[in-house]
Structure 1
Amino acid sequence: MKASWEKLEKNEGVLNIEVDESQVADALDKAFKKVAKKANVPGFRKGKVPRQIFEARFGVESLYQDALDIILPVAYSDAVMEAKIEPIDRPEIDIEQFEKGQPLKFTAKVQVKPEVNLGDYKGLEIPEKDFSVSDEALEEELKKNQERHAELIVVEEGTAEKGDTVIIDFDGFVENEPFDGGKAEKYSLELGSGSFIPGFEDQVEGMSKDDEKDVEVTFPEQYQAENLAGKPAVFKVKLHEIKRKKLPALDDEFAKDVSEFETLDEYKEDIKKGLQEAKEKEEDQYRENTVVEKATEVSNVEIPQVMIDTETNHMIQDFENRLKMQGMTLEMYYQFSNQDQATLKEQMKNDAEKRVNQTLVLEAISANENVEVTEEDLNEELEKLAGMYQKTSEELRNIFTANGNLETLKQDVANRKAIQLLLEHSVNVSAVEEAEEVKEAVEE
């Protein structure tokens, strides 16, 4: 096989490919064996007709399409490897010559990954941010834990307040007619949770045990049920019971009940440690995001629309998988959010373009710096993934290899190494210094 790459404008080019006649003959042989199994020729059982008789009756041309289906994918793949290009979309194939006893000649018009013009990605500035754990954050976390261990006490006298849990019956009507999903008995509702139509919970506040009341609300304009969107409704509500949280005292006994510690001070110190670890991860993520964004800003690349579309589709697939884990489908989401696929794609388009841009820049940096992914690096990555997917690292390696994604995994590791390189060569600046630099840039 012979192949040559001719670059056209931007990120397009043409592969000129020639496959020798012996490979063409082999493909025609395979095509004949496939077609002969179904050929009806008087005097012969299916699959037993001689090649000469078959070609005399149907013509050798009847084998061409099957032969092309056999030979084109292999020839194209080999030509891509020989030309050392990275296609990003299906090729446009044009057959120039194909007949028995002759070489196959065809062209493949291809879009490849665009070239990245890297800027000065070393010495990128990272504005300093405070990631320490404040006393307020510690007290807020302690209060959340206190809330989680609160006891619900039945209120025999008095009225319902925000934060109370009420047990109610309700029956909803729109234009004096009941509607689906508008009725329930002994429903448990936490006032202030915002789980009901705006205004509903506010009007239940102030009710006492055994009170009955008409609650008047208006459905939101963007409500998931289109037949109710924007319409006024009346809910007949009866309150059966009020339950109020009784918070435990924040003392040593509380610490003993909810943790392994003997004193409240020890428990608070453990909470602070957990918050600090979370802050450290948040700081790491902030620093990584900042250097990647800045490296992208100083670089230049023209992204083909097909790459943005592909990434958008991947993002929608990921979103659909997360919905499935919550027991939902994409169709259900469209109904609840009053959206469709086109709207969701439009929402994700900018993020998809940003992801593609950053990935291309990181790949260019890793190539420019000759970043090497060792077998040890790859094994370490497979071990991490093995824990996530509950498979052995060897099983995952086989899966990635079979799907042709092992090189993609290696590139992901290389990209993370590129991020570490950016961080190693970055410079921390104070917020004051950054503000002055921005001011100078604007004045210039």
Structure 2
Amino acid sequence: MNITVTTEKPEDGKLVAKVVVDKKDVDAAVAKTYKDIARQYNFQGFRRGHAPRPVINSIIGREAVLAQATNDLVSEVSPLMLEELDCVPVARVDYGDEPANVVEHADYELNATIPVRPDVELDSYDAPAIEMPPEEATEAEVQAQLDMIVSYRTTLEDVEEDRPAESGDTAVCDVESVEGAERFAGEGRMFDLSSKMLPAELLSGIVGMGKGEEKEVSWTTEEGTGEDKKEVKHTAKVKLTGLKHSVTPELDDEMVKKNFGFDTVDELKDAVKQEIEEDKKNRLPELKEDRVVEAMGKHLTLEEVPQNYADNVFNELASEFLQQLQRQGLTLDAYLHVRNISTDEFMADLRQQADERARQALALDALAAKLGFDATEEDVRGEFEKAGVDDVDASVAEFKKEGRLPAIRESIRRTKAVDWLVENCTVTVVDEAAKDAEAEGDAEAATDGDAE
């Protein structure tokens, strides 16, 4: 099919294109529609597929035939237009309320409004400076892994002494929802009073309670997003029925031999060290990419991501997440229950992640344009070869016909931008496990000081 595409400069995230279809292709589309209708319906006195145009016009109506031919032509032209413009729309292409019907023996003109990503600028196009953990396993990393391993053997035991609930305890409570606290209601509910996943006001309300004491605890949350965001009040009647504390076994040779199959603690440490370093061989390159991209996203001068692009990325992220849950054999409801978070909280977090991903993608696009990165035919073929398709030429032709090659080229340009960032960024090696342990110790010291 022969088409001519002309465009104006994009404005407000919209690219206006004028498409002209050659009259020969218009006539071919009309002829195909007549043939399709003749095959689809039985016309009395004619074999299926052999009804002449006048008969079809008298029964179906010529305007109806031309309308169908127009719809089919627009469907065929749309991906060709996107390929011609090398454009990835962020929402449905708008052809107006009702495109005019084609006219036989005449070129067909079609106006399209394509929602596109905004052209953006960065306040710096230099490769960023980032921090990375060392390639070898550090003592702090080994210790953190050992602490985690031992924590799996931690048990909860009753607090025998008569004392108020403290942070770090696990409180056993009977909870009645007074207002909006249904997901916490029930008898014998256990709350880790040092949890970061539960409402801080609920936990602080329980801290200081004695066994058998009852009280009402209230807190508020923000639910919804954008203009629909609202503040919701929650109130629960809580009765403390018991206290438990965590008991972690000492890591010694006997415990290691009994539970992990090593003769000594040192042997376990060596195994953990080796495992950490093997994991880093695969994880650090991906971590480096993530951090340089995150850093570049902060240089985007755009104040707010356009809603249509934000929605596009949100839907993409949600689809990826649901597919991941499906592979793990989980439902979204089960995931939310295990995490003890509401649907609104999950949606708000996903929206924030989508906004960050959108900003990072826009930053990569801006960097790729600034550095002149392009996606050649060889690059495109290389993507199909890496995917292991049997017939590269056929796959490329199919993607081109369906208007999907622009997305492949977009991905290639972004990958080149990421590769450039990885190669040119400045890296400072930091023992992050030791840093986190120090910060946690400072936080615990501050908490103990406040308690005193």
TM-score, length basis structure 2: 0.64
Aligned residues: 400
- Counterparts of residues 278-357 of structure 1 (less than 5 Å): 284-285=285-286, 287-289=288-290, 291-292=292-293, 306-319=308-321, 326-328=330-332, 336=342, 338=344, 347=352, 350-357=355-362
Q: Distance in 1 between matches of 2:35 and 2:169?
A: 77
In the other structure, the counterpart of 1:66 is 68
Aligned partner letter, 1:272: K
Question: 1:132-165, CA deviations, whole angstroms, 9 ceiling, x for partnerless residues?
Answer: 7654454343233222213455666666765555
In the other structure, the counterpart of 1:139 is 143
Computed over aligned residues only, the root mean square deviation of the Cα atoms, in angstroms, reads: 5.2
In the other structure, the counterpart of 1:265 is 266
User: Residue 181 of structure 1: CA displacement?
Assistant: 6.2
What secondary structure sits across from 2:3 in the alignment?
A: strand
- Counterparts of residues 115-126 of structure 1 (less than 5 Å): 124=127, 126=129
Structure 1: unaligned runs, 5 residues or longer: 208-212, 384-392, 432-444
1:109 aligns with 2:108: no
1:8 aligns with 2:8: yes
In the other structure, the counterpart of 2:449 is none
Please, which of 379, 389, 405 is the counterpart of residue 373 of structure 1? 379
1:235 aligns with 2:234: no
- Counterparts of residues 15-34 of structure 1 (less than 5 Å): 15-21=18-24, 23-34=25-36
Give the number of the structure whose alpha-carbon radius of gyration is greater: 1
What secondary structure sits across from 1:253 in the alignment?
A: helix
What secondary structure sits across from 1:222 in the alignment?
A: strand
Q: Distance in 1 between matches of 2:153 and 2:191?
A: 18
User: Residue 85 of structure 1: CA displacement?
Assistant: 3.3
User: Residue 69 of structure 1: CA displacement?
Assistant: 1.6
What secondary structure sits across from 1:368 in the alignment?
A: coil
Identity of aligned residues (%): 19
Aligned partner letter, 2:154: A
Question: 1:170-198, CA deviations, whole angstroms, 9 ceiling, x for partnerless residues?
Answer: 253649xx996676445555554465833
Does the CA contact (< 8 Å) of 1:125 and 1:429 recur in 2?
no
Does the CA contact (< 8 Å) of 1:4 and 1:17 recur in 2?
yes
> In structure 2, do the counterparts of structure 1 residues 231 and 154 end up closer, same or farther at CA, with 3 Å as the change threshold?
closer
> In structure 2, do the counterparts of structure 1 residues 288 and 49 end up closer, same or farther at CA, with 3 Å as the change threshold?
closer
User: Residue 216 of structure 1: CA displacement?
Assistant: 0.7
In the other structure, the counterpart of 1:434 is none
> In structure 2, do the counterparts of structure 1 residues 358 and 188 end up closer, same or farther at CA, with 3 Å as the change threshold?
same
In the other structure, the counterpart of 1:256 is 257
Q: Distance in 1 between matches of 2:264 and 2:145?
A: 17
Structure 2: unaligned runs, 5 residues or longer: 224-230, 431-452
User: Residue 365 of structure 1: CA displacement?
Assistant: 7.0
What secondary structure sits across from 2:111 in the alignment?
A: strand
> In structure 2, do the counterparts of structure 1 residues 376 and 266 end up closer, same or farther at CA, with 3 Å as the change threshold?
farther
Q: Distance in 2 between matches of 1:378 and 1:37?
A: 37
Per mean C-alpha deviation after superposition, the further-off stretch among 363-372 and 5-14 is: 363-372
